[in-house]
Structure 1
Amino acid sequence: MRENKPNIPGTWMDPDDAPELDAQFFKKADLYQGDRPIRRGRGRPKLASRKVLLSVRYSPEVVDYFRQTGEGWQSRMDAVLREYVRRKV
């Protein structure tokens, strides 16, 4: 007696139908060093003086002014405060 085999599509793929491994493919590929993945975008050297995360309240006018200067407004605000401290020391 014959057994009924389930109608399952095969998983075999003709190697000639595989996508081309071009430069774009390798740009998006995950990089590994041994068994550990290398995280992208983490290759920057650490700053000599790290910034401190804290919660502080500023008047709305000050925040609005710096936000209107566009992207990087927090760094500009930090630069203004550093300049103030430099002049007072």
Structure 2
Amino acid sequence: MIGPDPEIERPRTDEELSRLKPIDEVLPKLAESIRRGRGRPRLHNAKQAVTLRLDPDVVERFKSEGDDWRTRMAQAVKKASPRG
């Protein structure tokens, strides 16, 4: 049976600790990605998810015109809004 690696498990000496460098110096891209967090960066004007109940025939009409039906529906709502 193989046990833990004693070289990894042993406490570091003061000399070894003094030679360590910050992650920003050693792996700057990794450090930045950790600070940034997971996923895509947030957009300033990100779209908001909502639940909207529509008549089935309205949805079918938009769907029948192609895969980008959600985009076209959003454009239609925007055009119909007071600020259009």
What is the TM-score of this pair, normalised by structure 1? 0.45
Q: Which has the higher helix share?
A: 2
Q: Which has the higher strand share?
A: 1
